[in-house]
Amino acid sequence: MSDSPPIDRPQTPSRAPHSAAFSPLYQQIKGLILQGLDRGEWKPGESIPSELELAARFQVSQGTVRKAIDELAAENLLIRRQGKGTFVATHNEAKVRYRFLRLAPDDGRTGVSSSQILDCRRAKASAEIAAALDLRAGDAVVNMRRVLSFDDVPTILDDIWLPGSIFKGLTLESLLRYRGPVYALFETEFGVSMVRAEEKLRAVAATDVQAELLRIPPGSPLLQVERIAYTYGDRPMELRRGHYVTERYHYRNSLN
């Protein structure tokens, strides 16, 4: 990364005053760093160049780079570590393994969790799924189903859809072989970093199939969590419908 291709920035600020397309310098720098992340110039877990290096490369002051990185760190795309550097966020570290999992036990104790893959197959996207993943109806998707257990109690039934063109090599066998969060697998095997997600929550009654898989009476209340997860550039990369048993666990959320 020691090559320093200076960005195309004229001596006069690269914007016309009063222009509609006006954008502060640090936002432009933020965009350039984002592009680097998207291109995979720096992989999850790795460090990006130091602030001074980036400032030199982009021909701006350290303060401007800092403000760009500040925002990316606030969005959890980067992680600053004083004395060490700035690192690309990853789902591969113990500390942030449950970054997107909001289910917490009612009492404090945190038990062992395990995942059981029930199915993984290729299919054609329905209109609904295509819309969520920004595909066309009939496009290839990967469809998997699994059950997460906490303390050996089945608690979450997940149905997951992924764009087939990107997750080509994802098979039942590779999933069975893998231990750990699927988002970590997506990062290392497919170069897809999940960066942000939107969820829609509902209370529903368990169907017979759901009830059997979760070992609860049919019709029991379940928390349905529909998630669309995005990678860099707000590109949707996963649709997930989860059904949570909330007898001894709850979905926690903070409002500001």
Does 196 interact with a second copy (rule: CB under 8 A)?
Answer: yes
Question: Which residues 6+ apart lie within 8 Å of 195 measured at CB?
Answer: 75, 76, 77, 89, 230, 231, 232
Cα–Cα distance between 43 and 50 in angstroms, integer? 15
Task: Name which of residues 183 to 222 contact DNA (CB under 7 A).
Answer: none
- Answer for which of 35, 40, 46, 50 binds DNA (CB under 7 A) is 50
Please give the C-alpha separations between residue 63 and each of 30, 68, 161, 232, in angstroms, as whole numbers. Answer: 13, 9, 42, 24
Does 19 interact with a second copy (rule: CB under 8 A)?
Answer: no
Query: If contact means CB under 5 to 8 A according to the sort of partner, which of a second copy, DNA, none does residue 239 touch?
Result: none
The region of 23-31, 129-137, 181-189, 242-250 touching a second copy under the rule CB under 8 A is: 242-250
Q: Is 195 exposed, middle or buried (0-12, 13-18, 19+ CB in 10 A)?
A: buried
- Answer for which of 38, 41, 53, 159 binds DNA (CB under 7 A) is 53
At closest approach, how far in Å is the CB of 123 from a second copy? 25
Contacts with a second copy by CB under 8 A: the residue count is 34
Q: Are the beta carbons of 206 and 223 closer than 8 angstroms?
A: no
Q: Are the beta carbons of 189 and 174 closer than 8 angstroms?
A: yes
What residues line the site for a second copy (CB under 8 A)?
74-76, 99-100, 102, 195-205, 219-224, 226-227, 244, 246, 250-256
